[in-house]
Amino acid sequence: MTSSQTAHRAGGLTLALGALGVVFGDIGTSPLYALQTVFSIDDGVVAPTRDNVHGVISLVFWSITVVVSVKYVAFVLRADNDGEGGIMALAALARRTVRTGGRRAAVVMVLGVVGASLFYGDSVITPAISVMSAIEGLSVPEPSLRRFEVPLGAVVITVLFLVQRAGTARVGRLFGPVMALWFAVLALLGLGGIVADPEILTALSPHWAVLFVVEQPLVGFVAMGAVVLAITGAEALYADMGHFGRPPIRRAWFFVVFPCLTLNYLGQGSLVLRDPTSVANPFYLLAPAWAVWPLVVLATAATVIASQAVISGAFSVSRQAERLGYLPRLTVRHTSPDESGQIYVPAINWILYGGVLLLLLVFQSSERLATAYGLAVTGTFLLTTTLFLVHADAAWHWSRRRLLTLGILVGGLELVFFAANVTKVLTGGWLPVLIAVVVATTMLTWRRGSAVVTLKRRHREGPIQEFSRWLARERPTRVPGTAVFVHPSRATTPIALRENTRLNHVIHEHVVIVSTVSENVPHVAAQDSIVWQVVGAPGDHVIHIAVHYGFHDDQDVPQALARARDAGVPVDPDGATYFLSRITVELTGETSLPRWRKRLFIALAHNAASPIDYFRLPEDRTVSMGSFVKL
């Protein structure tokens, strides 16, 4: 083996270890509460009998196999948008492959928005239920400690969100070894239970799941509402693909995560067969008495890591939504010099923190939180399957038979999961629905409001040709230097340029209008990112530069202008003065949007990231000029 091959293999192992820490934390901690919830749901309607235990374990195993191994790992991970995953990236990819301007293109993006909104609901519930399920192990050996569980959970969650600014690269290096130990412990605990009663191995046969559902359809339907807890985290697995890449995630899943989860669920099933009262907490009771305290500590660390998966996924989805025009400008901090996908979004981090802490204080136990869990997850599953099939049809030209096979096998199972969780709407399932409605409303309002404001702004700015004729007629004084105007279009005149020239009757010797164009791909190659042309009359010395970015590229305007200069474009970014046209939106009685949506849009606009920071402009050479647009 050559040194380069050795280095590549070592790098792959490092990424796989990091993926254990960031990507698989959520699904990896499901054994803490999944089976316990199955046998406690609806006041214990699923009795811990021999046939029921075999049926439940079989359902868990085959649900993980079909939804995670087959759907996500084998198929959906192939639908990467230039290396990026997540439902918004998938929606953008599907929109690019269907007919432009058609009804399917519009529907695809609406499905992406709804799916992303449901993912935010999952991102709020997962940290709360994961951390509480671990800390509740304190009351297994010592029931009097139950009163400390909620305060301790709040402390753990606070620390988790505080460390996000360190970035997923550092977090992954820290969490990877901990999760490797966690999965090893899961496997050892499971093996101990299997050795005590090897009969449980027969539960791997799918016939047990079929018999359980056929013989007790109502009980089986109720159980499915809790079995889905064993596969939560699959969507985060896809959303976090941009952080580590497809091969490390697949290797970690098939060689570590899937085998260890299977062993642990089998071990818990074996314990319940031998002692039906262990359904109270089969995970902790599977461990010997001396190991419970260390296991609580390890489980707490693992659930903190589990929360990292959805938090990192929320960062990725938020940035994708912003670049696709569904959220205002966000402050995004890159936390790795090598991986562009490793980011920290402060606003999203603290919004999630507030939501998680509120949930913890309201529900106060993993059992009560479990009633709210599932609906967001299963809804996102169904939307991801739909978008994937649209993409497979349009881009890969799958046969109708292949589409139907995967749709019926995976989509049918997910539809049952979703229906089983709809029954929990009144007992907590309303929460993720409410979160999704709020997020989707916010995204669609920003999209619609931006379109209205852009139209009014263009009307106010006027055509660039009209400004060129004014220059020829008025002949303002030329002053030395280069003025750069960041402006969304080459068709209209930047307000800052027009007002500065009319009021002061001066114009810079060289004028550069820069438009940043967000493409429907994660990254645009540097050599393809710059397009320039002269606008107006040749004597105006006005050029327009369009800088194309992917939705995961940094919109650094001075850096782009330096690339343009090196490519022969007549521009000097080092000595240029930058001008921004700041638009203030005024609320009026116009009927373009309902009044409450106008207020929401204005609030979002006021809290958008500063364009100086967003475009990486030098503060000492940037001038802002304001104008008003009525909404």
pLDDT tens for 536-592 read 777 778 888 898 887 667 788 888 888 888 888 888 888 888 888 877 777 776 767
Q: Residue 3 — pLDDT band, cuts 50, 70, 90? A: very low
The pair of structure tokens assigned to 333 is 């901090």
17-26, 465-474, 579-588, range with the lowest pLDDT? 17-26
User: Per the domain annotation, does 186 fall within a domain?
Assistant: yes
* Confidence check: pLDDT of 184 > 90: yes
Instruction: Mark whether 93 and 185 lie in a shared domain.
Output: yes
Residues 79 and 164 both lie in one domain = yes
The residues pairing with 463 across neighbouring beta strands, listed in sequence order, are 492
Cβ-based neighbour number of residue 325 at 10 Å:
15
Q: How confident is the model at residue 271 (pLDDT cuts 50, 70, 90)?
A: very high
**pTM score of the predicted model:** 0.75
Determine, yes or no, domain membership for 274: yes
Query: Which pLDDT belongs to residue 10?
Result: 41
Q: What count of residues does the chain have? A: 631
Pairing of strands 343-344, 477-486: unpaired
The pLDDT score that the predictor gives to residue 448 is 87
**Identity of the highest mean pLDDT range in 97-106, 260-269, 583-592:** 260-269
The last residue of one of the domains, among 427, 444, 472, is 427
Number of compact structural domains in the chain: 2
CA distance 497 to 193: 74
Same domain, 185 and 283: yes
Beta-bridge partners for 534: 543
By three-state DSSP, how is residue 624 classified?
strand
* pLDDT given at position 9: 46
**pLDDT at residue number 18:** 63
**Rounded Cα distance, 355 and 376, in Å:** 15
- In this prediction, residues 357-376 reach a mean pLDDT of 77
Per-residue model confidence as pLDDT tens digits over 481-532 = 888 888 887 788 888 888 878 888 888 888 888 888 877 666 788 777 888 8
Local confidence band at 341 (pLDDT 50, 70, 90 cut-offs): low
- Residues with Cβ within 8 Å of 189's Cβ and at least 6 positions away in sequence, in order, are 264, 267, 283, 286, 287
**What is the domain extent for residue 552?**
457-630
Q: How do 333-334 and 506-518 pair as beta strands?
A: unpaired
Q: Give the phi and the psi of residue 295 in degrees, each rounded to 5.
A: -70, -35
In this prediction, residue 70 carries a pLDDT of 93
390 plus 285 within the same structural domain:
yes
Q: Per the domain annotation, does 10 fall within a domain?
A: no
Q: Are residues 376 and 476 in the same domain?
A: no
Q: Which of 405, 427, 449 is the last residue of a domain?
A: 427
Distance separating alpha carbons of residues 173 and 622, to the nearest angstrom? 39
- Which of 259-273, 286-300, 379-393, 586-600 is predicted with the least confidence, judged by mean pLDDT? 586-600
In this predicted model, what pLDDT tens digit does every residue of 379-400 receive, in sequence order? Answer: 888 989 998 998 888 888 899 9
Q: CATH no. for residue 309?
A: 1.20.1740.10
pLDDT beyond 90 at 202: yes
Q: In this structure, what is the dihedral angle of CA atoms 207, 213, 216, 218, given to the nearest 10 degrees?
A: 170
Residues 271 and 396 in one domain: yes
| Predicted pLDDT of residue 501 | 84
In this structure, are 515 and 421 located in the same domain?
no
Residue 439 lies in a domain: no
Query: pLDDT for 39-87, tens place per residue?
Result: 988 778 899 999 999 999 999 999 999 999 999 989 988 887 666 777 8
**Taking the CB of residue 535, how many other CB atoms lie within 10 A of it?**
18
pLDDT surpasses 90 at 354: no
Among 590, 317, 327, residue whose Cα is nearest residue 452: 590
Same domain, 346 and 387: yes
**Does residue 209 share a domain with residue 263?**
yes
Whether 409 and 491 share a structural domain: no
Confidence of residue 4 (pLDDT cuts 50, 70, 90): very low
Q: Shortest CA distance to 303 belongs to which of 313, 291, 311, 314?
A: 311
Quick check: is 20 in a domain?
no
Query: Last residue of a domain, which of 427, 444, 478?
Result: 427
Share of the chain above pLDDT 90, in %: 19
pLDDT at 611: 83
For the chain, the average pLDDT equals 82
Q: How far apart are CA 420 and CA 222, in angstroms?
A: 6
Are 21 and 179 a contacting pair, CB within 8 Å?
yes
Range of weakest confidence among 232-236, 272-276, 490-494, 509-513: 232-236
What confidence score (pLDDT) does residue 282 get? 92
Q: Is residue 385 part of a domain?
A: yes
Q: Which of 108-117, 147-156, 202-211, 511-520 has the highest mean pLDDT?
A: 202-211
CA atoms within 13 A on the CB side of 200: 27
**Claim to verify: residue 319 and residue 177 sit in the same structural domain:** yes
Q: Please, what is the angle between helix 149-162 and helix 346-363, to 10°?
A: 170
Q: What is the pLDDT of residue 244?
A: 67
Report the half-sphere exposure of 625 (CA within 13 A, side-chain side).
15
- pLDDT tens-digit readout, 588-613: 767 677 888 888 888 888 888 888 88
> Predicted confidence band at 213 (pLDDT cuts at 50, 70, 90)?
very high
> Cα separation of 476 and 531, whole Å?
28
- Between these two residues, 369 and 403, which has the higher pLDDT value? 403
DSSP letters for 382-429? HHHHHHHHHHHHHTS---HHHHHHHIIIIIHHHHHHHHHHHTTIIIII
Task: Give domain status of residue 600, yes or no.
Answer: yes
Asked if residue 210 and residue 327 are part of one domain, the reply reads yes
pLDDT tops 60 at residue 169: no
What's the pLDDT score for residue 174? Answer: 67
In a domain, 262, yes or no: yes
pLDDT value of position 344: 74
